[in-house]
Structure 1
């Protein structure tokens, strides 16, 4: 799915022919060209609807038997780059882009590896290498792999993930060699993912007791970081991504007054997430209450919002709301 202007531009360039595309690239900065090429080498099939949105005025040029037709191959990109910036620079630029693409593809394949085996293979690696790999694994896989490390090492890696801004150039070759050893492939991946949100995603996939213990240990060495992670774990904004069935279970077990307090000052998207999962009568009633002026304190709002997030995590873990186990989520 096309999500930003750069991807739309990449699709356009891959649809107009290398001669025309190379002319366009001549007017862009090296940085802009690099961004476009990185997207082009990773581009996949797009639906007719998506293509029509991006290339409305050129629709007939790129449709054949209701299928999308575009130049999705490395030769096309190479031809385009050589014509726009010369053979030497074009070859280097494409080589770098393909390198990154192949690295990303390789590291994703580690998601299918047995967590204990992957953890064993990573055990002796530098913490930064482990960090890079865990950042790009699925959160569930990262959590499982992380659980096999000793506590001290887990804390070190979690802190590094929160500070991760990409792999140092000198570590790039080392990472490629490691991925080769792990999955018998030539390439691996690195990028600029990471940060508090990534840590929160990984920790939320762990067993609750392991999560709490790890947070306590992190707090001992870095209280500020621990607070930021907890804040992300219990972010009320993340509710918009919760499955509607979970929301219905939550609403069924949640006191109306608590929900009313929690939704004070929330944006319409969050409010609608709740309202759309209620019966019509309750939805109308709550909507009217929310339109009235409120004198609820910010502290009360935050407390109820945190309770709701705890209840959601409880439902996700047990398949239903379990008040007996709610205490596990207090941090």
Structure 2
């Protein structure tokens, strides 16, 4: 007998990461509709979705049906669609991102604002940004890196000489707020208008946490070298940055519920590559939060994977850490500074 697609209730239990579900949904919408949706997303979301779409293989028809059915279920629960949509979108963005991050998106989506100034850099390649700010004052470089996402800032920093990295990272860690005039100066440097009005209020930017997130995204050799240099110049600053860093090995200190939530968001292939560089304790932590069958399959796949380049392992670990930080920011899991789980 031919295999029939699972019943809808059973199909809804198919364990597809949310990113893959979003990629399947966009591909099922068609090119023009998907393009309209992507216009309202930030550069990181577009990049992540684009990568996910390019990696989709052997998607079953019932999986497409499940994704669409689940999407429609969620849409039916939204009362803001069609009536007072502006307020609904505004409230949703503020709730999801916080008022500071939401303001730029609100301007672009609701008021037709354009992505200009510093926001434009988020769409550029790291090497191009490094070339643009290479000859600027280190304080300007620090503000740019503190403003951008940590993973992008880490890529930019990797193009700088060692001494410049040290100077810029210490400035990032020392930042607290930035005056509107400083942001306006950046706009003048970039020869573009800043997205929206700079306003009259100072902006929280930089600090030890931002510095720690940037260092987390550097290659381990560069990160270790940079942290040693920072501690040589200012031991207290280096210690405070280290205490806020969360590295892949710290996942063993996340509670079981958090690990299970992370596993739902990470693809098996990415996890296998990342675990190639993990110690036995962390591997067992992961296996212990899977079903017995899934753990056995993962062990077999890990053994069959064979040798993997260190750079590939570190890239996979950084991608998983980025997912963890995103989930932590959303309140889905708890990550403690210095590797301690928050309760």
TM-score range, shorter chain: 0.3 to 0.5
Name the TM-score, length of structure 2 as normaliser. 0.45
Instruction: Tell which has more relative contact order, 1 or 2 (C-alpha 8 A, sep 6+).
Output: 2
